Structure formats: C-alpha cells, structure tokens
Amino acid sequence: MSKTCWKCNQTIGFGKKNFSIKDFNSKKLECPSGFTKNDNICGECYPRVAIHSEPTHVDAFDYILKLIDSQKKKDDTKYEFLTRASELRKEKLKFEKETGVTCFLCQKKIGMLGGWDVAWVVDHSHSGAPEGFGLKSRVCLDCGNKMKDEKKKHEKQNRQEEKNNLFNELGTIIKKTPSAQYYGGHNAYLAGGTFGDAQNGELILTEKYLVFTKNAMRESKKWKIVIPLDKVIVGDWKIDEKTRRKSMAGGGVGFGFFGGAGTIHDTGKSHDIVVPYVDENGMDQAPRFGVSSITGNAIREWAKLIYDTLVKIQKEKPSEPTETKTSEEDPLKVLKLRLVKGEITKEEFNELKELLD
C-alpha cells in the first residue's frame, strides 16, 4: 500500500524514507499543526518541517542541529538551514541556561554539562549517591567538593577510630612495621596464587597480640590475622629461613632459648618467623611472617621482642595447666590436632571420635 507525503503529496514507501508522528515524538519535536497519527511525511519534507518546530528539550535542539548538518549539501535549501542553525545554537545556549539541570543538593542551576554525575558522586561520597540520585542527576562543583571533603573527614575519623579500637582491644603497641610479609601457613588466609608468593601488610606486636593486616586500597579487601600471644605454642617457636643453615650460631645472636624446635636459617635476605598457635576454632595454625630489611636484622629484633613478650605472658599465667597442656589432655582436641597434621584420616578421626563418645 503506498502512502503520500503530508507536505508535498509525492508517493512514499517502497524504500523511500518516510516519517510518522512517532518520529516527531521520539525526538521530542513538536508535531506541525494538522499532522495526525494517520499522516506520513517524506524524507525531504521532514527536516524542513522539523527545523521549524519549537524545541522544548535540549535533545530536540541537538537533533535538529544534526538534521541541518546532514542537509548542508543541498544547495537550494542551504541558506535556510544555515540560518536556522545559527538561530538554534543561540536558542540552545539560552535554553540550557534557563532550564539546564539543577544541583541535586542545593538546587543551583548548573547548565547541561556542569557538575558531577552519579559515577563521580558514588566515588567521592562516603555514603554513596544520595537517595533518588539517578543517572541524569548532577551535583554542582561546590557540593561535589563538599562531598569530597566529607569523605576525607570520614576516612580520617575511621582511621582514628580503628586505631583507638585496636588500642582498646589489643593493648599497648610494642612494635609496629608497615613493611611486613605473610607467607602462608594459616589455613584461612592464602599467601598468594603460587608458592613463594607473599602478601604485604602491617605487623603489630602489642602486649597481648600479634596482628598482621594485609595492605589493600579498599577497606573491604583488607584482612587481619590476629594471634593472641597466650595461644602461641611456645615449644614450637621458631625463626625459619627456607634454605640451608648458615652461620647464625656464630652470628652472636642467641636463639637457643627459642626452645627445642627453634631454628634459624639464613638465605641472606629473607628471614621468616613462624608463629604456631591454636586459633579460636581450636585449630593449629602456623603463619609465617617476614619483615623487610637489608640485613635481616629487623626480623631478629622482632623475634626477640615477640619472644620476650611471650615469656612475660607465660610468667603471668596462673600456675594451673596451660592452654597447650589442656589441649594435649583433651582427647578430642588431640584427635583434631592429629587430623590437622595428617596423622589420621577423616574416617579414622570419626571412628575414634565415636569411641570417645
């Protein structure tokens, strides 16, 4: 079925472009008066009609300007289009000034391109975008900057709070380093993808705890290993370096007092300290930490300090059986320990457990 153009009456259809009321509406253009939903308009008449509509939306301005650009080559109408184009640009500027978006927070007019959008707001506000802030909302530069300051203040407060909490929970800090490594050994925390990988972080020794906090840009990516010093298995205490033993004995540092299992090896650069302890689930963990220093003296210093603190805690403990002894005496704990160490299988564990019950 062929159609005729509302404006010039030529036959349209059969591959020729034609436009209906929908095309006006979707571009936010005003329909010419008398044009109904049954009418069609040809591809030549449409831009001419469109550019004479009175845009009431910035999208319509942009659309008409685009139409004009596409019509530039047609000599007969070039002048008309160009004149209308310059008119429209002026109108658009005026329109933007008058009706451009307002700041979501202070309602100040900020023009079409001013201010900050939702991505920016989420990124720079500690509480995310305010409720109701949508893809088309914006905040002015002033409010944006306030948001940024708020976030900084909030983060500073959080850090201070965290410090206070740490102090309250963990006791007085004895030593602290921002350049520690965790090499694995705690079942709940991976050291990295492959063997030898380390996680970098902060190591804090307090009078009651040893705490490793993994470095991360985002607060949510951080994690902590908190070792209560009274849960450290002192007999297994050791400083370890992965390869051969070297002249540590002759190095003048008396590590013999670290107990029977205490060993110190030297790889020249990386010195690790292994801190075996029983975690809050009664599981044996043996996380391995390093502290960067050129000579490796830092880790020795740490080892000494941790050891001294451990000794102090052991001395202060009441003379009843220690935590470690209790776990040795509790048959179920012993079983768990043997399971963890791989001395018995899960099946054997269950069997023995049943016997105990």
The distance of closest approach from Cβ of residue 114 to Zn ion in the complex, given in angstroms and rounded to an integer, is 10
Residue 306 and residue 314 in contact, taking contact as beta carbons nearer than 8 Å? no
Q: Which residues bind Zn ion (CB under 5 A)?
A: 5, 7-8, 42, 45, 103, 105-106, 108, 140, 143
- The minimum distance between CB 87 and Zn ion, in angstroms, equals 23
Judged by beta carbon, residue 108 or residue 214, the one nearer Zn ion is: 108
Distance in Å, CB of 130 to Zn ion, minimum: 11
- Please report, for the chain, how many H helices and E strands are present, in that order: 10, 13
Is the CB of 140 or the CB of 170 nearer to Zn ion? 140
| DSSP string of 286-350, one letter each residue | --EEEE--SSSHHHHHHHHHHHHHHHHHHHHS-SSPPHHHHHHH-HHHHHHHHHHHTSS-HHHHH
CA angle, 15 as apex, 11 and 16 as ends, to 5°?
A: 45
How near is the Cβ of 146 to Zn ion at its closest, in Å? 8
Nearer to Zn ion, 8 or 188 (CB): 8
In terms of CB distance, is 45 or 204 closer to Zn ion?
A: 45
**Sign of the Cα pseudo-torsion (167, 318, 316, 277, in order):** negative
Query: Which C-beta is closer to Zn ion: that of 43 or that of 331?
Result: 43
- Please, what is the minimum distance in Å from the beta carbon of residue 59 to Zn ion? 24
Q: How far is the CB of 143 from Zn ion (least distance, A)?
A: 3
CB of 76 to Zn ion, least distance (A): 14
Greatest alpha-carbon span in the chain: 108
Q: Where would I find the beta strands (DSSP E) of 155-298?
A: 173-182, 199-206, 209-214, 224-228, 238-240, 272-274, 277-278, 284-285, 288-291
- Sign of torsion, CA 206 208 210 214? negative
67 or 278, CB closer to Zn ion?
67
Whole-angstrom CA distances from 154 to 127, 148, 149, 214, 242 are: 10, 10, 8, 21, 43
Q: Return the number of the residue (115 or 287) whose C-beta is nearest Zn ion.
A: 115
Cα separations in angstroms, 236 against 259, 281, 310, 332: 7, 19, 13, 21
